[in-house]
Amino acid sequence: MRRPGRWLARSLFLILLAPSLVFAADEVSLGEQIEDIKQQTLQLNRDLFILEEELLFPSNTQMAVYLSMDVGTFFALDAVKLTIDGTVVANYLYTERQVDALQRGGIHRLYMGNVKNGDHEIVAVFTGRGPKGRDYRRATQLQVAKTAGAKNLELLISDSESLQQPEFSVREW
């Protein structure tokens, strides 16, 4: 014999359970939608960054200056001041971790900007500790002829074993 109360209880249970099952399915799809939106946002952010770089620094006027170190036994870098045509464009104070990264082969982009075509004077002033722990300040200079296209320069600090002194040079890529 069927009991109407039991049938009613089952029916009521199923009626109450059905919306929660639909809600759980919506929750899964909502989570997936949120994840998709996050991925799209990251991709859009990357695209906007690339576009911003291209608009702010067009390749025909772009100049970039990088700093690297080779060994670093005779010089402990503290700071670098970079000027282009007498205008200070970068002034950077290094931490111990950053100097360590440079000594292990890292490269630091000091400057990236727009420069007109023609001749330019690049001056880099290095400050730090030289041989025997003395304060050391040295500058290096380069005359650069900027033409159409990007120009990349590297400021290189290296050790001269024969002179027992650091050497500062600039090279074009």
**Strand stretches in the chain, DSSP E:** 62-70, 76-84, 87-93, 107-114, 118-129, 135-146, 151-160, 165-172
CB-CB contact of 146 with 115 (8 Å): yes
Same domain, residue pair 44 and 98: no
All residue ranges of the chain with pLDDT < 50 are 1
My answer on whether 51 and 82 are in the same domain is: no
Number of domains the chain is built from? 2
The pLDDT, as a whole number, for residue 13 is: 62
120's tokens: 């330019």
Same domain? For 115 and 163 the reply is yes
Nearest residue to 92 via CA among 105, 102, 78, 104:
78
Structure token digits, residue 88: 């200070």
> What's the pLDDT at 71?
72
Q: Is the separation of the CB atoms in 153 and 142 below 8 Å? A: yes
The C-alpha atoms of residue 4 and residue 13 are separated, in whole angstroms, by: 14
Q: What pTM was computed for the model?
A: 0.65
What are 30-43's pLDDT values in tens digits?
888 999 999 999 99
Give the model's pLDDT for residue 34: 92
Q: What is residue 66's predicted lDDT score, i.e. its pLDDT?
A: 96
Q: Examine the domain organization and report whether 79 and 151 are in the same domain.
A: yes
- Mean per-residue pLDDT over the chain, rounded: 83
CATH assignment of the domain containing 106: 2.60.40
* Same structural domain, 52 and 71: no
Whether the CB-CB separation of 89 and 122 falls below 8 Å is answered with: no
48, 129: one domain = no
